[in-house]
Each structure stands twice: as structure tokens, then as C-alpha cells.
Amino acid sequence: MSRTRVVVTGLGTTSPLGGDVASTWEGLLAGRSGVRHLTEEWAADLPVKIAGRIAVEPTDVLERVKARRLDRSAQFALVAAMEAWRDAGLENAVQDHGLDGDRVGVAMASGIGGVTTLLDNYDTLKAKGPRRVSPLAVPMLMANAAAANISLYVGARGAVNTPISACASGNEGIAMAIDQIRLGRADVVVAGGTEAAIHPLPMAAFANMMALSKNDGDPSTVSRPWDTARDGFVLGEGAGVLVLESLEHAQARGARIYAEVLGAGITADSHDIAQPDPEGRGGSRAILRALAESDIDPSAIKHVNAHATSTPLGDIAEGLMLHATLGAGIDDVVVTSTKSMTGHLLGGAGALEAVATVMALHERVSPPTINLDDKDPKVDLDIATTARPLPQGDIAALNNSFGFGGANVAVAFGSF
């Protein structure tokens, strides 16, 4: 594989904090929570009645007919991809830049895919019979629906992929995009992740396996990574998208560059289907591989957007990983968990957090972690509890994602 330099030229998101990057970033820096009470009738009997609902409904952005043909997860993905594509200056790419669709790819991930379409159509089948099942159900519920619809929007005729690795999926989409560019198969790849799983069945399932917090207090205070009172994650929804390009291609068209994507590491724990390795060995190997592929010294890392979901075991394991991989330099690293504000977007989490990591490097400021009132003494990290300046000069940052099945993905970004 070549050492082709890969850069970020476009960003897009729709999240519990805002319908675009600007509003989401403003909310993150302000330490504002997007977690709310669920007011739907179906939530009344659930053991958990809070979630990070999207701030701006995709039907407010997409054409009505188009939106009706997409699962909610694909709606999120398309909204974020449209913003990222415009942000990269590629809206009229064929006319203005002579962009070759054969050299454009998509790597859009999801942990679950079109689950709301699947479950809603099953309810229709039971209540009204097979003739009332939507003829669009399959193209809406298929896992690659988001990637396919983005490819139609941007005119991508290269590889259109959908990596699925639970909560590490969004970060894996970015890793796959790096590979496509460095293997010479694409000049531009639209990468990220999306999820829309705020539905009674997924919520009941996560709650019954003791993964979700059952704190029934103020919703904005429930997601509390690293705090001694943490008792599980808060489910969120949304999408994050990055436009990645080879540096040569981006410079040739005069693109604005946010940051450089230095490298990625992907590993598996082979420990347990749901619980992390308590020593964090698999995650440590992912971080070390990302550093090795990036060809940087651990001391270059000055910021980490941690996976830190607010689970008792996972938060401690990640702290061990960072100490094991960054060594003495860990004292100079500003760590944050933006899940404290957005909740956990599952397959969309790594991508939304990649957008936040890139913005942190670009703006030289780390978002805070909120609700950290009493830090667990087993976690020895410098965690930002207010927006914190990052150093000037050449620095790098890590974005970590870990998922059920023992999936670990770390992506290293560098200032540009």
C-alpha cells in the first residue's frame, strides 16, 4: 500500500445537538446535552425513557417523496453527506472539477441498518397481512441502503461499502476509505456512519442486557463517562460524514483542508461477545497500529476523543489502553467524551466523533466532557470538563471506537 497522504476536505452531520456541523460543534463546545425524555406513547412501558433524539428532523431537509423512500438511518446519512459534499466544494463536481465518478467511493457504515423499517413492516404484516407490506421495504431496510443512496447523490461509481462492526462501524468506514485511497482505487471517498435505533425493541433489548442507564433523573445528566455514578450508556441517533481525498487531488482543485487522516488500526478482542477485555489489550493494539501506520511518535498525540460510553467496565479499560499506548506522554493529552452530550450513536458514533476530532484539531480546542462530578479513581486521565485549548504547531489526535463482538478501531488525525 502506498503512503499517499489523505486529507479531510468536507464535514457533515446531523445529531442530537444540531442539524449540521456548525450547530453541533457549537453545542459541543457549550457543553449542552442533547438527551431528552421520550414522549412517544410506545415509550411509556419501557424501562428506559430517555434518548438523544435528533435535533432537526431529516424530513425538514429532504424532499418529502425522497424521505419516504428511505429508512430513518439512511435519511440521516444522506442529510450529513449532502452537507459534507457541499462543504468540500464538490456539489457541481463533474462540471467544475471534472471529477471522475469511477474514482469516487463511499464507505458508509451502520451497526444495525434499517431496523425501524424492518420492525414497522413486521408489525404491518402481523396486523394487516402480507399484501400491506411495503414494496420498498427491502431497499429501505438493507444494511447498505445509506451507502447506496449516498453513491447516487454524489455519482460514485467506485467501491460503495458498508462496514458493520457494531459501535466501531463509523470509525471502520473511515479506515476503509483511507485504504481505498492508498490502494489507488479512489481519489475521493465519502466516509462515515449512521444509526437510527430509537425504537421500542432495540431499547428494550439494550436495557434488558443492562447496557443502558436506568437513571430516571434529569435526562441531561444521565450520560456521565468516567463518573463514579455512571451506570450505562444513553442511546442516541444521527450520522457523521467526512469527505476524504488524496492530498494531491485536493490541492489540484484548490480544496480547503481541515486536517490530515494519518492512519487507522483495526483489531478484535476475542474475549467476549459483549464485554470488553478488562485489560484493554485489543484496543491497545488498535491504537498502536494506528500510530504505526501514521508513522508518528505517541508523544505527537495531544487530544483523544474517547469511546467512553459511560459503562462501568468500558471506561476503565479505555483508560488502561491510553496509558499502555501513549506512555508518559499521556499527561499532555486532553481527553474528552462527546457521548456525554450526544448519547451513544452506535454505528454512527465513531463518525460523529471523527467530525468532532477534526474540528478540535482545526479550531485548536477540545470539547468538554459534561456530568463528570466525581471522577472514578481508577481513571487516571486529564479529562476536559470545559472547552480546553489545544497546542499550536503540528499535533495529532486519536478517535477511538469499540463495539460488541470485540471490535476495536482507532483512527489518528493530524493538524494540517
Q: Tell me the residue length of the chain.
A: 416
Distance CA 339, CA 168 (A): 14
Residue that is written with C-alpha cell 462540471 in the block: 95
* Whether 167 is catalytic: yes
Q: Report DSSP state, residue 232.
A: S
Q: Report DSSP state, residue 15.
A: B
Residue that is written with C-alpha cell 476503509 in the block: 176
- DSSP letters for 256-320: ---EEEEEEEEEE--S-SSSPPTT-HHHHHHHHHHHHHHT--GGGEEEEE----S-HHHHHHHHH
* Whether 303 is catalytic: no
Distance CA 276, CA 289 (A): 19
- Active-site residue (options: 249, 307, 323, 362): 307
Helix, strand or coil, per DSSP, at residue 255: coil
Distance CA 258, CA 336 (A): 20
| Residue 250 Cα distances to 21, 80, 99, 191, 407, angstroms | 21, 20, 11, 16, 32
Distance CA 165, CA 160 (A): 17
Distance CA 33, CA 209 (A): 25
* Whether 362 is catalytic: no
Distance CA 162, CA 166 (A): 12
Distance CA 264, CA 355 (A): 15
- Active-site residue (options: 199, 249, 303, 344): 344
The radius of gyration computed from the CA coordinates of the chain, to the nearest angstrom, equals 20
160-161 vs 50-51, strand pairing mode = unpaired
Q: Are 106 and 378 in contact, with CB atoms under 8 Å apart?
A: no
- Active-site residue (options: 167, 199, 303, 362): 167
Active site residues: 167, 307, 344
